[in-house]
């Protein structure tokens, strides 16, 4: 079945540092890929998405490129802020005709001033 | 757009008791999902509805779990004879269409503690 693998956290950075959170996936067909973010005490919310190979999703300074050849969708941000501290989830939908969103285990990001 | 609402936010129960959670999706959203999340893990799929029809249940879902979505609006998730292993955050999400690129809107979850 479909699966998503994320790097383990927590990722701890100083403010203005460069962020990369790795995500790779296994799926048949051509899934859509997503990053969701969960701030403390809140529900998950969509951060960005990409629906086909080589698409780049972006939002709030975050970016991720759909790489079919490496089955990856790594999340990046050039300069993190304390307010970016949250848990980030990589997810996919639609691999092999499945309409069930599949999530990775999440990566916690802690940004220090 | 008032968001996805889940009630209660927290539930503490004794082992063996039944519990029921409610989810109110965004109005006119056709799809409704239930997920379970434990500490340090991502959301784990439980079941989903297309309008009032329950289309799929996880093979991992015990017979003690049942979900309904009467009239295709709100949904309830019931756990019978709760066990300590049922302790988790139960998440509800909805989406407007069946498109695979459609984003999910999540509620804040119901935290269940089974003593």
A52-105 per-position pLDDT tens digit:
999 999 999 999 999 999 999 999 999 999 999 999 999 998 766 677 899 999
Tokens for A86? 């949250």
CB contact under 8 A, B101 and A93: yes
| pLDDT level of residue A26 (50, 70, 90 thresholds) | very high
B59 touches chain A (CB under 8 A): no
Give the pLDDT score at B28.
Answer: 85
B43 touches chain A (CB under 8 A): yes
In chain B, the percentage of residues whose pLDDT exceeds 90 is 78
Pairs of residues, one from chain A and one from chain B, whose beta carbons lie less than 8 Å apart: 61
Is residue A4 within 8 Å of residue A104, measured between CB atoms? Answer: yes
Average pLDDT over residues B7-18: 97
User: Which run of H or of E encompasses A35?
Assistant: strand A32-38
Give the pLDDT score at A1.
Answer: 80
Mean pLDDT, chain A, rounded, equals: 93
Distance from C-alpha of A101 to C-alpha of A98, rounded to nearest angstrom: 8
Average pLDDT over residues A23-44: 91
Give the pLDDT score at B61.
Answer: 83
Dump strand ranges (E) for B1-107.
5-7, 10-13, 19-24, 31-37, 44-50, 53-57, 65-68, 75-79, 88-95, 105-106
Looking at per-residue confidence, does B102 or A66 come out higher?
A: A66
Question: Which SS3 state, helix, strand or coil, does residue A91 take?
Answer: strand
Distance from C-alpha of B26 to C-alpha of B10, rounded to nearest angstrom: 21
Chain A residue whose CA is closest to B9: A41
| pLDDT level of residue B20 (50, 70, 90 thresholds) | very high
Tally helices (H) and strands (E) across chain B.
0, 11
Q: Which of B44, B48, B103 sits opposite A46 (nearest CB)?
A: B103
CB under 8 Å to A69, separation ≥6 — which residues? none
B109 touches chain A (CB under 8 A): yes
Q: Distance from B44 to chain A by nearest Cα, in Å?
A: 7
Given a cut of 60, whether residue B1 has pLDDT beyond it is no
Give the pLDDT score at A2.
Answer: 86
Chain A residue whose CA is closest to B32: A100
Given a cut of 90, whether residue A41 has pLDDT beyond it is no
Give the pLDDT score at B97.
Answer: 76
CB contact under 8 A, B100 and A93: yes
Is residue A36 within 8 Å of residue A91, measured between CB atoms? Answer: yes
Given a cut of 70, whether residue B46 has pLDDT beyond it is yes
Given a cut of 70, whether residue B66 has pLDDT beyond it is yes
Give the pLDDT score at A97.
Answer: 66
Given a cut of 80, whether residue B100 has pLDDT beyond it is no
Q: Which of A32, A99, A104 sits opposite B42 (nearest CB)?
A: A104
Give the pLDDT score at A113.
Answer: 94
What distances in angstroms separate CA B41 from CA A9, A35, A104, B88, one per listed residue? 11, 15, 8, 10
Distance from C-alpha of B108 to C-alpha of B35, rounded to nearest angstrom: 12
């Amino acid at each position: 079945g479909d699966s998503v693998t994320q790097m383990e956290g927590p990722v701890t950075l100083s403010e203005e540092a460069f962020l990369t959170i790795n995500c790779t996936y296994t799926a048949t067909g051509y899934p859509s890929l997503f990053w969701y973010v969960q701030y403390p005490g809140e529900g998950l919310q969509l951060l960005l998405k990409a629906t086909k190979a080589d698409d780049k999703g972006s939002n709030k300074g975050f970016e991720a490129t759909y790489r079919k050849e490496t089955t990856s969708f790594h999340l990046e941000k050039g300069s993190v802020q304390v307010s970016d501290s949250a848990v980030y989830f990589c997810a996919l939908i639609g691999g092999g005709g499945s309409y069930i969103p599949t999530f990775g285990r999440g990566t916690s990001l802690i940004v220090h001033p | 757009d008032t968001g996805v609402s889940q009630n209660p936010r927290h539930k503490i129960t004794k082992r063996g008791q039944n519990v029921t959670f409610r989810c109110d999706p965004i109005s006119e959203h056709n799809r409704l999902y239930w997920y379970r999340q434990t500490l340090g893990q991502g959301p784990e799929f439980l079941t989903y509805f297309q309008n009032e029809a329950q289309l799929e249940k996880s093979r991992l879902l015990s017979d003690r779990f049942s979900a309904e979505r009467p009239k295709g609006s709100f949904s309830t998730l019931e756990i019978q004879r709760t066990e300590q292993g049922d302790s988790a955050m139960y998440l509800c999400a909805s989406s407007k269409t069946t498109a695979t690129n459609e984003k999910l809107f999540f509620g804040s979850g119901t935290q269940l503690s089974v003593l």
